[in-house]
Amino acid sequence: MSSFQGSKINPATFNRSQIKFYLFLIALAVFMIMPIVFMFSQSLKPINELFLYPPRFFVDNPSLKNFYDLINVTSVTVIPMTRFLFNSIVVTGAVVFLSIVISAMAGFALSKLKFKSKGVIFEANIIALMFVPASVAIPRYLIVDGLGLTDNMLGHIIPLLAMPVGLFLIKQFVDQIPNDLIEAAAMDGAGNFTVFRKVIIPVIMPALATVAILAFQTAWNNTETSEIYMNTETLRTFAFYMTTLTGNLENKVAGQGIAAAAALIMFVPNLIIFVIMQSRVLDTMAHSGLK
């Protein structure tokens, strides 16, 4: 990184010292986009190109047959692909909405409201950040089973609402809001909910967008709840179904095209939500402020 010292980053006019940055960023961008291009190409390859050796990176004769085969494979199992997609959409929508509401309200309470043990609660949240999901799989199963949520859509949703990182981000963001602003609103007769809705929410929109992205990716890509809590096939999500594709197909090579088609369906919503929310974060950070 010493070679970058003295270079002008984002100057008003082009400077030759920028060239090293452009070369580095272009190479990094190409490296990161290659798996996406390969997945897109693989999903459009006809069966004869899947068997080519050595394999080709790009598709020569694109075809949508893999997507048709994906639908036919699910029809053979009696359960249509749309059922798995519907489950994923419902679970993801519920998790994103509830995660935003819970993280925002809890972050506001832990930051600005006065009550006993709020320090202990926040410290417990910090400790929860240290645990990987696999380490709490058994306790979570016992809780979900004890609540009678196995083979229930709520068994997908409730375990995913535990987002310590979301609460941490919101709380740290609310900490930056001056207490004078909240006290001024209180003097005007605003209650805690009014302060939260009209003062806190507009300011913490960047943090809420970040929580939405994290919650969406966690719920949309989640396979754990389908594996552990769901015994009924019709209650499982598309992410879980995608992991079983190549294993259930007799021809593993031909199954790679179908798996790539399913992976593309999984990837596109992630890309769309990230682009939308990223724009929202940048726009809010640029135009929001305390007045």
CATH code for position 188: 1.10.3720.10
91 lies in the same domain as 189? yes
* Residue 243, C-beta contacts closer than 8 angstroms, at least 6 positions apart: 223
CB 161, CB 95: distance < 8 Å: yes
Question: Based on C-alpha coordinates, what's the Rg of the chain?
Answer: 24
How far, in Å, CA of 113 to CA of 118, rounded? 9
24 lies in the same domain as 103? no
34 lies in the same domain as 117? no
* pLDDT: which is higher, 182 or 98: 98
97 lies in the same domain as 230? yes
Chain-centre distance of CA 89, in angstroms? 13
For Cα atoms 78, 80, 82, give the angle at the middle one, nearest 5 degrees.
Answer: 165
61 lies in the same domain as 160? no
* Predicted pLDDT at 88: 92
pLDDT exceeds cutoff 80 at 4: no
131 lies in the same domain as 205? yes
Mean pLDDT of all residues in 32-59: 78
Binned at pLDDT 50, 70 and 90, residue 290 comes out as very low
Number of Cβ atoms within 10 Å of the Cβ of 162: 15
Q: Which of 6-20, 42-56, 90-104, 130-144 has the lowest mean pLDDT?
A: 6-20
Number of Cβ atoms within 10 Å of the Cβ of 90: 15
Which 3 state secondary structure label does DSSP give 1? coil
Structural domain count, the chain: 2
pLDDT exceeds cutoff 60 at 24: yes
pLDDT exceeds cutoff 70 at 14: no
* Predicted pLDDT at 291: 41
How far, in Å, CA of 256 to CA of 151, rounded? 30
pLDDT exceeds cutoff 50 at 56: yes
84 lies in the same domain as 39? no
Whole-structure pTM value? 0.78
Mean pLDDT of all residues in 151-165: 89
pLDDT exceeds cutoff 90 at 84: no
236 lies in the same domain as 107? yes
Nearest to 23 by CA among 41, 3, 42, 6: 3
Residue 287: inside a domain: no
* Predicted pLDDT at 287: 42
% of the chain exceeding 90 in pLDDT: 9
Residue 279: inside a domain: no
Provide the residue range defining the domain that includes 26.
2-68
Residue 256: inside a domain: no
Nearest to 152 by CA among 82, 230, 75: 230
237 lies in the same domain as 119? yes
* pLDDT: which is higher, 254 or 16: 16
| Mean pLDDT over each residue of the chain, to the nearest integer | 80
Report pLDDT digits (tens) over 200-249.
Answer: 888 888 888 888 888 998 899 888 888 888 888 888 888 888 777 655 55
